Amino acid sequence: MRTMQAALALLALSAALGYAQSTVFKWTDKDGKVHFSDAPPPDDAKDAVERRMGGGGPDDSNLPYATQEAMRRNPVSIYVSSDCGDDCEQARDLLEKRGVPYTERDAVNNPDDKEQLKKLVGALYVPTLAIGDKPLKGFQEDQWNSALDSAGYPRTRLPGQGSMRRNAAEAPTPPATPGAAPEK
């Protein structure tokens, strides 16, 4: 019992000092064997994934399995701008209220996000919701709820969940919709 208390105290102290944060890499080698390591994978590794542990951002492993699967199949991004106003705020609120993990992309100030949005919907239109490769231009709560339901996302967030917003630098780039024509 005393040893367990000492271990917990040491863990709490190291977390408070910032030592508990680390990066874990997962990859598959050429023989199909899965590896976990604190060192980056070799160049020939397949399915390499980097995960920050212990305070480096949201931990997706605490989310319900159905949400994790929805994230894997249909990642959610929202394209916004600083002058988007109430529509962007309502869009963020909907995703947070539902507990949908999402990546916020700046369609005006980030050149990569701007180009991706143009490929996705053919114009700089905010807010735009991207669920996998399916874009929805403009905030329409019923339409967004229906699309999120179809993608398998929860209707309500779990008690105690932090923000659902993800770091855009770590999120995958959403695919462009094939054949998207620019708006005139």
Question: Do residues 124 and 118 lie in contact, with contact meaning Cβ atoms separated by under 8 Å?
Answer: yes
Identify the pLDDT of residue 87: 95
Q: How many domains does the chain have?
A: 2
Provide the pairing of β-strand 46-53 with 76-80.
unpaired
45 and 74 together in one domain: no
Q: What is the pLDDT of residue 63?
A: 80
Q: Could you list the residue range(s) of the whole structural domain that residue 30 is in?
A: 21-56
- And the tokens for 183? 């708006």
pTM, whole model, 2 decimals? 0.60
Same domain assignment for residues 35 and 49: yes
* Shared-domain flag, residues 49 and 71: no
Task: Give me the mean pLDDT over the 71-96 stretch.
Answer: 94
Considering only the C-alpha atoms of the chain, give the largest distance between any 2 of them, rounded to a whole number of Å. 71
User: Average pLDDT for residues 53-61, to the nearest whole number?
Assistant: 50
* Position with higher pLDDT, 36 vs 120: 120
pLDDT of residue 52: 52
